[in-house]
Structure 1
């Protein structure tokens, strides 16, 4: 009879959350450099930033605050604590990185694919260490538990509205490239985030 696999240590979790938050922060810097948007609460924070001139970091941090209560009920305090840390770290990094990370000319297609891959890698690391970047995913799972309506459809509906609003702030070509980045992100997670293939 095989023994259960060892769980992640505290050091493992710290590394995973730091890596995931850093990758996501680099992606946000790249997205805003290109004038792109993305989905979920990160996309909402970016849009608010475009419309108001407010920095992404504080907006993203505040937007996520109401979701922790749902996360506590659905996943428990450990998940909420790790997610709060990831969101706070991402928010801080997006304020710091622009002083040290600068992009030149990037073709929109390459930028979209790179942003999707960076965020996908970051979110996979966060998921595998029992964390997230909060937001609509938690709402989707909560609604799914309460009503049976699939969480994926909740997220898809939110993103559809978000990209619709983006068309009022960005040109259609930019929104189209942004959609490519969001597609790459979701494909990365869909293909690689499999509990039956990853045990830790």
Structure 2
């Protein structure tokens, strides 16, 4: 029952995050982390965002499998696959939204922040910078929200040439909101998850 509850929260998190990223894309805003890198590449490549997001995240799983455990890595890989597919699906079924830029950045920040928190707090991640943030949080006790904000802001600065100053500022507002939610409501599910799987493997 506990596993079903965790999976339900992860799925809810993936849906909310996918919606937030779609709102960003519809308003020519971007995000940090591998989502932001994928957005930048999507401007320069014929490949879809979902495909690029999956490819960009693959190198980070080397860190995950070595430092965070195989079960966490498998769960994160499934989440990456899930959000890539959901993002592609939403583009097919939901028309492009036209919202005020300020409202779009706030709404997307809330959706992504809540969504990522659900995913991270239930034994999974969305790869990339989130894996790095969890690792640094566990090893050096530096709040993962701070790690995400710093890394994401650096990526936004690199995207200035493509999205412009105004879009970059609204994108940073989105990142600030999402990072605050993720940092404020963080839990550390990795050790618990690995302990549960170790117990189950010896049962």
> For the superposition of Structure 1 and Structure 2, which TM-score range results when normalised by the shorter chain?
0.7 to 0.9
Q: Indicate whether 1:171 and 2:177 are aligned.
A: no
CA distance in 1, matches of 2:3, 2:116: 18
Does the aligned pair in 2 maintain the 1:83–1:131 contact within 8 Å?
A: yes
1:104 CA displacement: 3.6
TM-score with structure 1 setting the length: 0.84
Aligned length: 189
Alignment of 1:29-178 (within 5 A): 29-140=22-133, 142=135, 150=142, 155-178=148-171
CA distance in 2, matches of 1:97, 1:33: 12
Higher fraction of helix: 2
Are the structure 2 counterparts of residues 156 and 118 from structure 1 closer, same or farther at C-alpha, using a change threshold of 3 Å? closer
TM-score with structure 2 setting the length: 0.83
1:128 CA displacement: 1.7
SS at match of 1:113: helix
| Residues 129-149 of structure 1: per-residue CA shift (max 9 Å, x gap) | 110101023235556788x59
Q: RMSD of aligned C-alpha atoms?
A: 2.5
Residue 4 (structure 1) aligns with: none
Does the aligned pair in 2 maintain the 1:137–1:151 contact within 8 Å?
A: no
Does the aligned pair in 1 maintain the 2:27–2:104 contact within 8 Å?
A: yes
Alignment of 1:4-19 (within 5 A): 9-19=2-12
CA distance in 1, matches of 2:119, 2:49: 20
CA distance in 2, matches of 1:189, 1:28: 16
- What residue ranges of structure 1 are gaps of 5+ in the alignment? 1-7
Residue 17 (structure 2) aligns with: 24
Residue 182 (structure 2) aligns with: 189
Does the aligned pair in 2 maintain the 1:61–1:91 contact within 8 Å?
A: yes
